[in-house]
Amino acid sequence: MLTLEVGTPLTIGLILGTVIGVAAMLIWVERRLLGFWQERLGPNRVGPLGLFQVVADMIKIFTKEDWVPPFADRFSFVLAPAIIMVAVLMSFAVIPFGPNIGIVDSNIGILFVLAMASLGAYSVMLGGLSSDNKYALLGSLRAAAQMVSYEVFMGISLLGVVALSGSFNLRVIVEAQQDGMWYVLPQFIGFVIFLIAGVAESHRLPFDIPEAEQEICAGYHTEYSGMKFGMFFVGEYLGLVLISSLITVLFFGGWDGPAFLPPVFWFAMKAGAFICFFILLRAAIPRPRYDQLMSYGWLFLLPLSLINLLVTGAIILSTQG
Amino acid sequence: MLKLIKDTFVSQLVTLWRVFRKLFVKADTVEYPEQPPYMFPRWRGRIILSRDPDGEERCVACNLCAVACPVDCIALQKAEKEDGRWYPEFFRINFSRCIMCGFCEEACPTHAIQLTPDFEMAEYKRQDMVWEKEDMLIDGTGKYHDYNFYRVAGMSIAGKDKGEALNEEKPVNVRSLLP
């Protein structure tokens, strides 16, 4: 029972603990990296290198008053932050972290992840709607439109990978890449579209239009505080980890790597590099306007992903005859 | 089309690369408590009251500093010694109001009140921000080492009558017709 196999309680516990721990540590990692990229130092006071900044933040956020505004719709207000955590954590169930590490080997892994990403949109929508606040409403409106439209290209950009490997199962996809080459080469356009759609889907900067501080305060979580805000916050970082893991699995061979290091380590390295890349995006690229984001998606990314799928399909058909 | 690709991808990648390079640039941050910043000698910080070269208080309680103070944080009361010298009976600065503008230093005719480069004056209790004369009076002369107001001013005190100050002419008898 307590072996490191797919789906044992030990594995599930380890994955859950690691993922949430990493998501919490990202608060510190992101602030530190952003600091370096802005020629500052970032938080370096609490503990060695500021590593315990997370502990300090957690103590603060847990001891804050758990406030629900009197004008808010109480049920959905409390429900919203739970949905995002649950939806993102559920997605981790199908991700293969190593040859024998994972929770489920689902035959519909990619579809499951996409479905959970769609559920995550409900969290943002409900959070904004139930707050009864104009900024929150604007934020949730934007979030709904943005997430629904970017899910389209996210799904279509993955179909190239599915067509190449012939499976929706993420573990099969990784194993197919171990035999051939990593899918980032044959599916480079799909990779770029998935990267952009992933940023928009986890509404990170530069596509954090639902919560754009400078325009609409904090968007959909304007009225949230304490641990409920913390769950939105950690949920966002969990989404970041999820997107990085997905890119690693789908395009960069998952745990595939030279044998002198354990496979999980390779997975962590690749995912970590993508997390750092997402933080670099935040540090470097300014936020587009809302209509620019929408027209960029529908007028540029959608045709591009369709063409990518078409060309991929044609090549597969012509080679396999 | 080429311009679209340049605007959407190339310029973004250039931005990413330029920001990424900052990882290897030394941070501008001054880690203050461990790494004290250089304070310029004429920095306008904590206010002190200086003494003249003979070791007497320079302040003559003329109230010009209190008048010049834009936030009215200086309070003082004039008193007089037996030898005729004026001095402040109390001299009080409320540093929770003081904005370190230095107008008092400019107004002071005797170089008594001076601002120093020290700025670490935080207190836990607001009452501790009110400084009395004993807290501000230093033993030295501050920025002006040789200046002694009573030695150059025409005011008569015990041991120095009118006309006996430095560079001072004898007083003229205005009622006399003699040259």
Closest B-chain CA to A283? B19
The pair of structure tokens assigned to A233 is 């916050």
CB A189 within 8 A of CB A196: no
Q: Which of A281, A278, A272, A288 is nearest to B16 (CA)?
A: A281
Give chain A's domain count.
1
Show the domain range for A200. 68-320
Residue A42 is assigned to a structural domain of this protein: no
* pLDDT score, position A321: 61
**Confidence band (pLDDT; 50, 70, 90) for A1?**
low
**Strands, E assignment, A11-153:** none
For residue B142, give every residue at least 6 positions away whose Cβ sits within 8 Å of its Cβ, in sequence order, or none: B48, B50, B111, B114
pLDDT digits (tens, 9 = 90+) for A207-228: 888 887 778 877 788 888 888 8
Among A29, A37, A278, most B C-beta atoms within 10 A, so best to mutate, is: A37
Domain ranges for chain B, please list them: 47-143
Query: Residues of A numbered 156-195 whose beta carbons fall under 8 angstroms of chain B's beta carbons: which are they?
Result: none
Residue A159 is assigned to a structural domain of this protein: yes
Q: Which of A191, A19, A187 is nearest to A101 (CA)?
A: A19
**Confidence band (pLDDT; 50, 70, 90) for A80?**
confident
Closest B-chain CA to A192? B9
- State yes or no: pLDDT of A180 exceeds 80: no
* ipTM (interface predicted TM): 0.76
Angle at A212 between CA A206 and CA A213, to 5 degrees: 125
Residue A212 is assigned to a structural domain of this protein: yes
Closest A-chain CA to B20? A37
Give A312→chain B minimum CA distance, Å.
Answer: 22
Residue A14 is assigned to a structural domain of this protein: no
- CATH number, span B47-143: 3.30.70.3270
Q: Which of B68, B69, B88, B91 is nearest to B78 (CA)?
A: B88
**Confidence band (pLDDT; 50, 70, 90) for A69?**
confident
* pLDDT score, position A2: 61
From first to last of its 179 residues, chain B has per-residue pLDDT tens of 788 778 777 888 888 898 888 888 888 888 888 888 888 988 999 999 999 888 889 999 999 999 999 999 999 999 999 888 899 999 999 999 999 999 999 999 999 999 999 888 889 999 999 999 999 999 988 888 988 888 888 888 888 888 888 888 888 888 888 77
Q: Cα torsion for B157, B159, B160, B164, to the nearest 10°?
A: 170
Among B4, B10, B14, B15, most A C-beta atoms within 10 A, so best to mutate, is: B15
Query: Residues of B numbered 1-30 whose beta carbons fall under 8 angstroms of chain A's beta carbons: which are they?
Result: 8, 12, 15-16, 18-20, 22-23, 25-29
Residue A83 is assigned to a structural domain of this protein: yes
Q: Judge: A280–B20 Cβ closer than 8 Å, yes or no.
A: yes
Give the span between the Cα atoms of B72 and B49, in whole angstroms.
Answer: 17
Type of residue found at B170:
K
Give the span between the Cα atoms of B128 and B123, in whole angstroms.
Answer: 6
In chain A, the percentage of residues whose pLDDT exceeds 90 is 2
R_g over Cα of chain A = 20
Residue A254 is assigned to a structural domain of this protein: yes
**A with B: how many residue pairs have Cβ under 8 Å apart?**
35
Closest A-chain CA to B32? A45
For residue A298, give every residue at least 6 positions away whose Cβ sits within 8 Å of its Cβ, in sequence order, or none: A149
Q: Judge: B16–A280 Cβ closer than 8 Å, yes or no.
A: yes
Give the span between the Cα atoms of B3 and A313, in whole angstroms.
Answer: 29
* pLDDT score, position B98: 92
CB A212 within 8 A of CB A287: yes
Residue carrying structure tokens 């587009």? A288
